[in-house]
Amino acid sequence: MLVLKIALIIMFSSGSTEIYSLASSVLFLVGLWMIFKKCGVQGWWALVPCVRYYKLARCAGREPEGRVITFLEAANIITTIVGMFIDENSTAALFFAFAVFFLLLLHLIYLIRIISGLCEVFGRKKWWIVVWLFLEWIPALLWGFHPKFQPLWTVKDIQSEASNFFSGSKAQVLENGLTVNLEERTATEFFKKKYLLRDIHMYIQPGHMVLLLGGSGAGKTTYLNAVNGYEKAKAEVVLNGTNMYKHYKEMQYDIGFVPQLDLMRGSDSVLLTLMDAASLRLPKDFSAADRKARVEEVMKIFGLTPVKDNLVSKLSGGQRKRLSIAMEFISNPSLFILDEPDSGLDGVMARELFLQLRKIADQGKIIIVITHTPDRVIDLFDDVIVLAKDAKRTGRLAYFGPITEAREFFGKEKMEEIVKSINREEEGGDGRADEFILKYAEVQHG
C-alpha cells in the first residue's frame, strides 16, 4: 500500500485546508480511475464531472440510481452558479436554501444506495459506506490499488446466458394476418446505446384476440408503438401482406390504437365526436351521407345510439371507453391495439367491454390488449404474448401462443401468477425471466 502511505504523508504534512481539499479530490479521482478499470469501465470517465457517478453506479449494479444522481450532480452545479447572483438577505435566498438542502439530501440517499451496491460487488461489509461518505479518497485508493480488493463481477459480466442468446430465426411472412420480426428497438441514454427490445418474432392469425403481458418496464408499450409504427424499430412489420414501415401513410388508418387516456372534448356530443373522427379517418372520397351511415353503424355496434346526443362529459366510464374505441373503429381497421381499455371499470363493465372486443375479433380482426386484470376476462382471449426483462433489463419474448399452452409452459394457472414468475425479485417477483426466455427459445427451435 505504498500509494496510500504516500497519500497520507502528503495530506497530513500540510496544514493548509485548501491543499488538503485539492489533494483529497485528486487522490479520489486516481482511486476511482483504478476502480473503473477493475470493473470493466474505461478509467478516464473518472475525470468527467457528473458522469463519473453514473459510471460508478454501473460498476455497483445500480444503473437506475446512477441516472438520478447524474441529474442531481448537474442540478447542484447549476444551483451553485445561480446562488452567486442571489441576495443573501432576500426572501428568495430562503427558498433557494431549502431547494439546495433538498437536492443535497436526495444526493446523499442515492449515493448511499450506489455505495451499498459497490460493497456487494467488492464483497465488503456495509460499514464501508460511512468511510466512503466522509473520507471517500481513502476507500477509493484502497479499492482501486490494493490487490485484495477485487470485484466479484465486472460490468460486462452483469448479464446472463439469456442476455446473450438470440434465436436467429424469423416468423414466416404470410399474406393474411400480422407478422412481427423485431430485431431490436434501441435508445441512447447517458452516453451509451440501450436496448429496449430485442429478438421478438411472431405471427398472429386474423380473428385472434391477443393478451399482452409483462411486468413494469418489460417493454409492452414500446412493443405496441413499434408494431403500429409510432416508434419505428429495426423490424419488419407486415399486416395482410403489406409492410407497414414502408407504406405507413397508406396503412395508418388500417390500425386502430386506443390509448389508456382518451383525448375527447367533454363539451361535444357523442355524435359530433364520431362525425369528427369519421372526417379524419375515412377516405376523402367518402360522401357526407356515407360518413353519417358509417357513424350510425358504429354507434349501433357499440351501443351508443341511445346516448348519441349526450355530452361526452356526461357519459359513464363504460360509455366513454366504448366511445374512445368506436372512434378508432370508424375506419374499420384490420389491427386493433388497446392499452388498458378496462382501466377504472368494475368487473361487470370490463367484461361487457371485452365481450364487445371479442365480437370484433370474430369479424376477422386482430386485437392486441394490455390489461392489468387479465384473469377476469382470460376466457375471451386466444393467445398471449409474454414479455420479460432479461438480466440486462432488455424486453425479450418469454412466450407467445395459446392461453392453455401458456399455463402448462409456466406451470401457473393464472395470468397474474405468470407475471409474478418473470418479475425481478426486487419487484416482488420470482426472478425467473431468463429461465423462460431460454425455455421459449428452445421450444421455438424444436
Residue 370 is which amino acid?
I
Residues 134-182 have pLDDT tens digits of 888 888 888 888 888 888 777 765 555 455 566 667 878 888 899 999 9
pLDDT computed for residue 4 by the predictor: 47
- Residue 124 has φ and ψ, to the nearest 5°, of -110, 155
What single letter denotes the amino acid at residue 121?
A: V
pLDDT given at position 1: 45
The whole-number pLDDT of residue 209 equals 96
Q: Which residues of the chain are under the pLDDT cut of 50?
A: 1-5, 8-9, 161
The answer for residues whose C-beta is within 8 angstroms of residue 257's C-beta and 6 or more apart is: 224, 228, 230, 328, 337, 338, 339
Give 297-344 pLDDT, tens digit per residue. 888 888 888 888 888 888 887 888 888 888 888 888 899 998 888 877
Domain extents in the chain: 2-154, 161-444
How far is 281 from 432, CA to CA, in rounded Å? 43
Amino acid of residue 317: G
Contact (Cβ atoms closer than 8 angstroms) between residue 179 and residue 199: no
What pairs with residue 402 in β-bridges?
Answer: 383
Residue 87: per-residue pLDDT: 67
3-state SS, residue 181: strand
Determine the 3-state secondary structure of 196 from DSSP.
strand
Cα distance between residue 61 and residue 59, in whole Å: 6
Spatial CB neighbours of 107, under 8 Å, sequence gap ≥ 6: 69, 72, 73, 76
Output the CA–CA distances (angstroms, integers) from residue 158 to 238, 376, 434, in the order listed: 35, 38, 13
Residues whose CB is less than 8 angstroms from the CB of residue 285 and which lie 6 or more positions away in sequence, other chains included: none
- Domain 161-444: which topology? Rossmann fold (3.40.50)
